[in-house]
Amino acid sequence: MAAGTQLTNPFEDPLRYERRVPEATVVIFGANGDLTRRKLMPALYRLALERRLSAGFAVLGISRTPMTDEQFREKMRQSVERFLENSPFDAQVWDGFAKGLFYLPGDVHDPAAYQRLSQRLEAIEQARNMAGNVLFYLSTQPSQYATVAQGLSQAGLANGRGWRRLVVEKPFGHDGASARELDRSLHAVFAEPEIYRIDHYLGKETVQNILAFRFGNGIFEPLWNRRYVNHVQITAAESIGVEGRGAFYQETGALRDMIQNHLLQVLATVGMEPSATYDAQAVRDERAKLLRCIRILKPEEVEQDAVAGQYGPARIGGTEVPGFRQEPGVDPASRTDTYAAATFFIENWRWAGVPFYIRTGKRLPKRVTEIAIRFQPAPHVPFEGQAPEAPPDLLVLRIQPDEGISLKFASKQPGPGMRLRPVSMDFNYGTSFGERTPSAYETLLLDAIQGDATLYTRQDMVEASWRVVQPILEVWENRKFDFPNYPAGAWGPEAADRMLARRGHEWRRP
Ligand code: BG6
């Protein structure tokens, strides 16, 4: 290669360095917490590495722990070095980025903390010559969201010279009623367009790609309906257990933790109608419409069309794995679901009668999130005795890991006669684009600072999702479960297989 010649990636975004975010201060409540360390800081640092942040960009962390700016910077540096994925740590970039990191010890229940926050913000903005834009990020206990919003309002921080936005982490309520209550508290201070409810699944590249796949191509959409689709399976399996979050998880369970938010958003993305434009209102309107079309299970249907599971102890690969009830912080008689599956029907012209099966669980055999779309079998196979046992027409959108898309279909096996075998056509992100994929938090933080809410959920979507899961939760609350009902490392309880078998289907083994 000639000196000075650089290999260029044909897929690289030529405008990437133009897309710098406007000057802003990100104020993180809960700055000493897990999310800040594992996700937010590595994502912000990545944005700095990509030169997406403007010169004045600042982060002000708040939490109860006493720390100086210097101690906070050191702590964040260690976290970024530890949790940064797919990128080298660049000390020089870090030093520049760290100059914009600040810390303020404060208790969210103390009104004086908000006064100090106000003064600190002003000092930072003046010193860095900033325009006064502030993104408040709530990464605290959900029970503190309303308190923080009120504190900000009372200190006059909800309005200012520049824009003010509020990013809220899930869970948005524990049920429909508490979600509405939370919404009232937030709306007392911020207008809906200023509230960014984060669902990190929507920020995943592969979830965004579902829309590119469906609406950027002409060939798939004509098949994307009840005439050609037999059923859909959405799986989010995790091999990890509750990882030190036993106390939180015990109050939450799989249905609330994954289905109410992430997986119903994925379902909405798979099922929604095309939006005429790609902007926050149009896309979210379509997602919300789809969520409202999901048929609500009647209490007597929950028994057959929803399945709860909880893992018990097992020996996996020579290691003893504790059951959920043996995890720290968990009640030894806990009735919490660590596995949840449900069958949903979408009542509209496109999808009437097509089952959408959803499942998620902890301590399943592997980590895999995918959407499998099973097409109708060929109406007549003319090759005698050769109809494959399991009809292969299957489209798999792999959300993670091994991000990609596979289309499986029947093919003639070479040799005499007509023998059919399933084969696969594969697209793989890694090999096709050769570029590092941004993390969901990188995408979503960038969007919030730019004022783009397309990939954030909206209050009506949150309420529509609670409407879907609430009847299941209510039945489960009063039901006796024979827990544990699957050993750690298995694909969930047998009842989940029966749920599909009723309609002549079976779960795919990803
Ligand atoms: C979180 C849940 O929202 O999503 C966790 O609270 C879960 O329990 C996580 O592990 C899964 O996210 P991802 O991106 O690893 O699939």
d(CA 263, CA 236): 8
Instruction: Using alpha carbons, select from 260, 283, 293 the residue that is nearest to residue 210.
Output: 283
Question: Quick one: tokens of 217?
Answer: 């191509």
d(CA 250, CA 306): 19
Instruction: Using alpha carbons, select from 409, 327, 384, 357 the residue that is nearest to residue 230.
Output: 357
What atom of ligand 1 comes closest to residue 170's alpha carbon?
A: 3
Q: Is pLDDT above 60 for 490?
A: yes
Distance (angstroms) between ligand 1 centre and the Cα of 201 equals 9
Distance (angstroms) between ligand 1 centre and the Cα of 260 equals 13
φ, ψ for residue 360 (rounded to 5)?
A: -155, 155
What atom of ligand 1 comes closest to residue 242's alpha carbon?
A: 8
Whether 238 lines ligand 1, by a CB cut-off of 6 Å, is: yes
Using the structure block, give the residue that is written with the tokens 């059923």.
231
What atom of ligand 1 comes closest to residue 262's alpha carbon?
A: 3
d(CA 416, CA 428): 33
What atom of ligand 1 comes closest to residue 204's alpha carbon?
A: 14
Distance (angstroms) between ligand 1 centre and the Cα of 265 equals 14
Is-catalytic flag, 187?
Answer: no
All residues at 6 or more sequence positions from 510 whose CB lies less than 8 Å from its CB, including other chains? 235, 237, 366, 368, 370, 372, 396
Whether 370 lines ligand 1, by a CB cut-off of 6 Å, is: no
Using the structure block, give the residue that is written with the tokens 């694909």.
491
Query: What is the share, in percent, of the chain residues with pLDDT greater than 70?
Result: 95
Q: 396 near 370, Cβ under 8 Å?
A: yes
| Residue of 257, 327, 364, 402 to test ligand 1 pocket, by largest number of atoms within 8 Å of CB | 257
> Which amino acid is residue 40, in one-letter code?
L
Distance (angstroms) between ligand 1 centre and the Cα of 216 equals 29
For residue 18, the model assigns a pLDDT of 53
Length of the chain: 510
φ, ψ for residue 429 (rounded to 5)?
A: -55, -50
Nearest residue (by CA) to ligand 1, atom 2, is 257
Residue 386 banded pLDDT, cuts 50, 70, 90: low
| Residue of 83, 207, 238, 311 to test ligand 1 pocket, by largest number of atoms within 8 Å of CB | 238
All residues at 6 or more sequence positions from 504 whose CB lies less than 8 Å from its CB, including other chains? none
Q: What is the DSSP letter of 460?
A: H
What atom of ligand 1 comes closest to residue 245's alpha carbon?
A: 8
Q: How far is CA 170 from the centre of its chain?
A: 10
Please, what is the average pLDDT of the chain? 91
Residue 12 banded pLDDT, cuts 50, 70, 90: low
What atom of ligand 1 comes closest to residue 200's alpha carbon?
A: 14
Say how many C-beta atoms besides its own lie within 10 A of residue 334's C-beta. Answer: 21
For residue 2, the model assigns a pLDDT of 41
Say how many C-beta atoms besides its own lie within 10 A of residue 117's C-beta. Answer: 22
Distance (angstroms) between ligand 1 centre and the Cα of 236 equals 9
All residues at 6 or more sequence positions from 290 whose CB lies less than 8 Å from its CB, including other chains? 267, 268, 271, 272, 273, 346, 348
Distance (angstroms) between ligand 1 centre and the Cα of 248 equals 13
* Burial category of 369 from C-beta neighbours within 10 Å (exposed 0-12, middle 13-18, buried 19 and up): buried
- Mean pLDDT check: name the lowest of 182-196, 235-249, 465-479: 235-249
d(CA 253, CA 330): 12
Nearest residue (by CA) to ligand 1, atom 5, is 257
For residue 7, the model assigns a pLDDT of 45
pLDDT digits (tens, 9 = 90+) for 62-119: 999 999 999 999 999 999 999 998 788 999 999 999 999 999 999 999 999 999 999 9
Question: Quick one: tokens of 489?
Answer: 């490392």
Specify the 3-state DSSP secondary structure of 203. Answer: helix
d(CA 291, CA 62): 36
Q: Is pLDDT above 50 for 3?
A: no
Nearest residue (by CA) to ligand 1, atom 4, is 258
Using the structure block, give the residue that is written with the tokens 């004086």.
112
d(CA 193, CA 452): 10
| Residue of 35, 38, 200 to test ligand 1 pocket, by largest number of atoms within 8 Å of CB | 200
All residues at 6 or more sequence positions from 208 whose CB lies less than 8 Å from its CB, including other chains? 202, 443, 455
Which of these is catalytic: 109, 187, 262, 380? Answer: 262
221-228's contacts with Cβ under 8 Å and 24+ in sequence apart are: 221/274, 223/375, 224/350, 225/350, 225/351, 226/350, 226/351, 226/352, 226/353, 226/354, 227/376, 228/375, 228/376
* Burial category of 190 from C-beta neighbours within 10 Å (exposed 0-12, middle 13-18, buried 19 and up): buried
Instruction: Using alpha carbons, select from 213, 200, 227 the residue that is nearest to residue 397.
Output: 213
| Residue of 39, 258, 441, 457 to test ligand 1 pocket, by largest number of atoms within 8 Å of CB | 258
Query: What is the share, in percent, of the chain residues with pLDDT greater than 90?
Result: 79
What atom of ligand 1 comes closest to residue 249's alpha carbon?
A: 8
Considering the entire predicted model, what is its pTM?
0.92
Distances (CA, A) of 401 to 206, 222, 238, 356: 10, 28, 11, 22
Average pLDDT in the 271-275 region?
96
Torsion of CA 385, 386, 391, 395, to 10 degrees: -170
Say how many C-beta atoms besides its own lie within 10 A of residue 501's C-beta. Answer: 12
Whether 257 lines ligand 1, by a CB cut-off of 6 Å, is: yes
Distance (angstroms) between ligand 1 centre and the Cα of 344 equals 22
pLDDT digits (tens, 9 = 90+) for 228-271: 999 999 999 999 998 878 888 998 999 999 999 999 999 999 99
Nearest residue (by CA) to ligand 1, atom 8, is 257
